[in-house]
């Protein structure tokens, strides 16, 4: 069965920038596709909002029934420069016509080298750097651990409460939350330890500031792992899946300084926060933290699968020749897309745009919170904002309310995502190409939903 589209399948910013509902959500064509999915795709692969997409761009996702939804998710922080961004589309089309794959480990090509040079230049710190490219965030995280182990000759890795680093075996071990990411999938990779995170909303009242939270974590690390055994500390500068937890000021610098003092590799997992999302090119920059290794993916290539580890040359060069790689890592199409993304971030002023979007979202969410005591916390940075929903006056999570609000938002044409250890955080990650009027409309709709939920 083929699907007849009621919209032309051409995406990009030229799509009408409007919220338009012409059927219920999901519509009949999407429902037919969902039934086919049930018969064809593993039921373990879930879909949060089963509208099947025909085109996307600017700030909208258009489905196969002709509905146009406001995109506040960017495919989980991937299409930061916009879906089918014209620069990306053009660069990828040209690369497809030239060659699609040779394998960089067999016969290399310039795009890979140019992406590496650019990442070495753009990532925090002016030390000598090297980069290696991979396919997914999880794969890059695993390789960062391999590099840190090679460099230090040590094995242990520390990750944090609420952390998320992927779904492969080693990254499941690094990820905190059992359901749905880990449950039933063990045994997990050994020599992974967990330390307490700085979580200001849940630490409030305890007098634990950023430095105290770092001491709390370091104490656990020293007593339960021992610095002499520790290869790497792996942390998201702002946690993504764990609930957009922004650590208290001082936490990341104190941890990084402790790592430096103890010969431990400090790895920033910027898979979700990287590439202008937070109003800096990288979230670490906000406190002047310079990671030894930085892991990037998602926003790097406008939707094409690409990931990278970038870091100190002596660390990146520590594994033996041939120790890092993979058939598709740094695929030429993904590299062409990434180079176009880097151009777009600069030429379109996307770091500033993320800050503007952040200001608008923070204002709207703070106003919502003032009117609704179930919004316990408003947090995030730049175009990465969230609200944590709780029983009024407490930190008791309200996952049921979160689900109700998300479902109502979906029904009214907003693509919003839920996250958080307790499933009680609504997160907002619009593409930076979203026009202001759609952002305003989205939060007007959300305001009404809170009044009615
Ligand atoms: N690290 C972080 C911080 C992430 O947010 C994610 C994906 N949500 C990953 C790693 C894993 O990336 P991928 O899904 O591309 O493997």
Supply the pLDDT for residue 5. Answer: 52
How far lies 340's CA from each of 129, 300, 335, 366, in Å? 22, 10, 9, 35
Residue 298 Cα: closest atom of ligand 1: 15
The answer to whether residues 185 and 46 belong to one domain is no
Residue 305 alpha carbon to ligand 1 centre in Å = 12
Q: What is the CATH number of the domain that holds 66?
A: 3.90.1150.10
Question: Is there a domain that residue 301 lies in?
Answer: yes
Contacts of 244 (CB under 8 A, 6+ apart): 238, 379, 380, 384, 385, 386, 419, 420, 425, 427
Q: How far is the CA of 165 from the centre of ligand 1 (A)?
A: 5
Among 347, 372, 390, identify where a domain stops. 347
Judgement on whether residues 57 and 201 belong to the same structural domain of the protein: no
Q: What is the distance in A from the centroid of ligand 1 to the CA of 370?
A: 33
On whether both 257 and 133 belong to a single domain, the answer is: yes
The ligand 1 atom at the shortest distance from the C-alpha of residue 297 is 15
Final residue of a structural domain among 321, 347, 373: 347
Q: What is the pLDDT of residue 7?
A: 47
Question: Which ligand 1 atom is at minimum distance from the Cα of 135?
Answer: 15
Q: Is residue 323 part of a domain?
A: yes
Residues with CB under 6 A from ligand 1: 76, 136-138, 141, 164-166, 236, 240-241, 269, 271-272, 297
Residue 2 lies in a domain: no
Q: Ligand 1 centroid vs 175 CA: distance in angstroms?
A: 10
Residue of 170, 284, 297 to mutate, ligand 1, most atoms within 8 A of C-beta = 297
Same domain, 66 and 92: no
Q: Which of 138, 293, 425 to mutate to test the pocket of ligand 1 (most atoms within 8 A of CB)?
A: 138
Q: What is the CATH number of the domain that holds 277?
A: 3.40.640.10
| List of the chain residues with pLDDT < 50 | 1, 7
Cα of 138 vs centre of ligand 1, distance in Å, is: 6
- Phi first, then psi, for residue 200 (nearest 5°) are -50, -40
Q: How far apart are CA 272 and CA 390, in angstroms?
A: 25
Question: Rounded distance, CA 318 to CA 323, Å?
Answer: 10
- What is the side-by-side strand order in the sheet with 53-57? 53-57, 60-63, 68-71, 414-415
* 183 and 108 fall within a common domain: yes
For 40, the token pair is 């064809």
Residue owning the nearest CA to atom 12 of ligand 1: 137
Those residues with Cβ within 8 angstroms of residue 117's Cβ, 6 or more apart along the chain or in another chain: none
Q: Is there a domain that residue 121 lies in?
A: yes
Are 338 and 422 found together in one domain? no
Condensed to tens digits (0 to 9), the pLDDT of residues 124-148 reads 999 999 999 999 999 999 999 999 9
Nearest CA to ligand 1 atom 14: 137
Q: Are residues 301 and 402 in the same domain?
A: no
Distance 169 CA to ligand 1 centre (A): 13
- Ligand 1 centre distance from Cα of residue 98 (Å): 30
Helix axis angle for 210-224 and 251-261, nearest 10°, is 40
Range of the domain at 77: 28-81+350-452
Say yes or no: 61 and 138 in one domain. Answer: no
Q: How many domains does the chain have?
A: 2
Residue 203 CB partners (closer than 8 Å, separation 6+): 213, 248
Question: Looking at ligand 1, which atom is closest to the CA of residue 168?
Answer: 16
Same domain, 386 and 333: no
Ligand 1, pocket-test mutation among 48, 164, 267, 418, most atoms within 8 A of CB? 164
Atom index in ligand 1 nearest the CA of residue 241 equals 5
Whether residue 21 is contained in a domain is answered as no
Please give the number of the atom of ligand 1 that sits closest to the Cα of 166: 11
Residue 5 covered by a domain: no
Closest-CA residue, ligand 1 atom 13, reads 137
- Compute the distance between CA of residue 324 and CA of residue 274 in angstroms, rounded to an integer: 23
180 preceded by a cis bond (ω within 30 of 0) = yes
Residue 69 lies in a domain: yes
- If you measure from the C-alpha of residue 377 to the centroid of ligand 1, how many angstroms do you get, rounded to a whole number? 24
Q: What is the pLDDT of residues 250-267, one digit of tens each?
A: 999 999 999 999 999 999
Q: How far is the CA of 186 from the centre of ligand 1 (A)?
A: 19
In a domain, 3, yes or no: no
User: Is 225 found in the same domain as 196?
Assistant: yes
Cα–ligand 1 centroid distance for 136 (angstroms): 7
Residues 123 and 234 in one domain: yes
Which of 314, 347, 380 lies at the terminal end of a domain, its last residue? 347
The CA 139 to ligand 1 mean position distance, Å, reads: 9
Please answer whether residues 384 and 77 qualify as being in contact, where contact means their C-beta atoms are separated by less than 8 angstroms.
Answer: yes
């Amino acid at each position: 069965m083929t699907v007849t589209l009621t919209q032309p399948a051409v995406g990009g910013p030229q799509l009408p920038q409007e919220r338009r509902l012409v059927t219920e959500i999901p519509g009949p064509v999407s429902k037919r596709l969902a039934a086919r999915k049930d018969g064809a795709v593993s039921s373990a692969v879930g879909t949060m909002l089963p509208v099947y997409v025909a085109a996307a761009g600017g700030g909208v996702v258009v489905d196969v029934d002709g509905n146009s939804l406001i995109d506040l998710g960017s495919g989980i922080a991937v299409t930061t420069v916009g879906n089918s961004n014209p620069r990306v589309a053009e660069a990828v089309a040209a690369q497809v016509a030239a060659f699609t794959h040779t394998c960089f480990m067999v016969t290399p090509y310039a795009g890979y080298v140019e992406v590496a040079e650019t990442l070495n230049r753009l990532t925090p710190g002016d030390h000598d750097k090297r980069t290696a490219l991979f396919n997914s965030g999880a794969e890059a995280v695993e390789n960062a651990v391999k590099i840190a182990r090679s460099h230090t000759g040590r094995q242990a890795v520390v990750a944090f409460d609420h952390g998320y680093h992927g779904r492969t075996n080693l990254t499941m071990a690094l990820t905190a939350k059992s359901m749905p990411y880990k449950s039933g999938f063990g045994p997990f990779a050994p020599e992974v330890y967990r330390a307490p995170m700085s979580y200001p909303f849940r630490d409030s009242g305890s007098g634990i500031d950023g430095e105290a939270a770092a001491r709390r974590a370091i104490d656990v690390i020293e007593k339960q792992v021992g610095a002499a055994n520790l290869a790497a500390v792996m942390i998201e500068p702002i946690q993504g899946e764990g609930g957009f937890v922004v650590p208290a000021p001082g936490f990341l610098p104190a941890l990084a300084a402790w790592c430096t003092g103890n010969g431990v590799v400090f790895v920033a997992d910027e898979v979700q926060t990287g590439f202008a999302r937070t109003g800096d090119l990288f979230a670490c920059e906000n406190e002047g933290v310079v990671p030894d290794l930085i892991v990037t993916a998602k926003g790097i290539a406008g939707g094409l699968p690409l990931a990278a580890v970038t870091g100190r040359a002596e660390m990146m060069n520590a594994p033996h020749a041939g120790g890092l790689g993979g058939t598709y890592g740094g695929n030429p199409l993904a590299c062409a897309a990434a180079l176009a993304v880097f151009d777009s971030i600069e030429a379109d002023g996307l770091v500033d745009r993320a800050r503007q979007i952040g200001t608008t979202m923070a204002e709207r969410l703070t106003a919502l919170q003032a009117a609704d005591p179930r919004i316990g916390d408003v947090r995030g940075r730049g175009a990465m904002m969230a609200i944590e929903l709780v029983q009024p006056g407490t930190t008791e999570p309200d996952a049921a309310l979160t689900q109700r609000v998300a479902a109502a938002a979906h029904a009214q044409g907003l693509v919003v995502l839920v996250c958080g250890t307790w499933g009680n955080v609504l997160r907002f990650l619009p593409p930076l190409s979203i026009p202001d009027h759609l952002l305003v409309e989205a939060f007007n709709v959300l305001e009404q939903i809170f009044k009615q939920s």
